[in-house]
Amino acid sequence: MKLLPDSLRIFVINRALEFSGLLIAILSIFVFTSIISYSPFDPNINNLNSSEVRNLAGLIGANISNILLQMFGYFSLLICPVLFSWSYKIFFTKAEEIYLLSKKISDYLSADLSGLKSNGLESPNIYFSGDIVQQSSSLSKEIIKLQQTTILEKKYAHALTLHWLTYRLLQNCKRLEKCDSSGKDFMPVLMKEVKKFKKLYSNWILTL
């Protein structure tokens, strides 16, 4: 017997993945900061003293780095790429979800907006419905390019492009909220997902 309907179960799973993506990104930054700023003179569970904490992650970071370095040495730094790749997967998945949602909404809008208006002109919103598909499809492509390059300047260039695409996508969603189509009712749903992506981006970009 199912405790939750399929739609609600999928919703809960997706929200859990988004939350875990944020948490993992923050955790990976915290662990990395703890290890690289480790000091053997910091107070920790193996070295109780009253000296000032030098670890950039505070007392908790001093204890975490001490435990990890004692157990694995500087191989502990390998934990960070694992956490980074996990958060990347969640970030990339969200971009793909936005593309699929944009495509469905655009197809719905196009059916209403493709005809000519009473004055014989086409609706300008028909172009915005195409823009949301183009921009959302570019999100995952830019993420891949950013992840593949090893040149820091190029990484930040792709990061800026992602920021710009997210901004333009939100602006076009706002325009389409006012279009003459019942499909505009779906725009708040898309905007909500784009804002979630923007939040994931803000945390993931710190791991570069």
In angstroms, the CA 69 to CA 72 distance is 5
> Average of pLDDT values for 138-154?
88
> Average of pLDDT values for 173-184?
85
How confident is residue 181, by pLDDT bands cut at 50, 70 and 90?
A: confident
> Average of pLDDT values for 161-175?
93
Indicate if the pLDDT at residue 83 is higher than 80: no
In angstroms, the CA 37 to CA 57 distance is 8
Nearest to 165 by CA among 189, 145, 181: 145
Q: Hey, what are 47's tokens?
A: 């070295």
Nearest to 67 by CA among 86, 39, 43, 45: 45
pLDDT, residue 15, reads 65
> Average of pLDDT values for 50-59?
86
The pTM for the full model equals: 0.66
> Average of pLDDT values for 181-194?
88
Indicate if the pLDDT at residue 11 is higher than 70: no
Domain ranges of the chain: 6-207
Nearest to 163 by CA among 114, 199, 117: 199
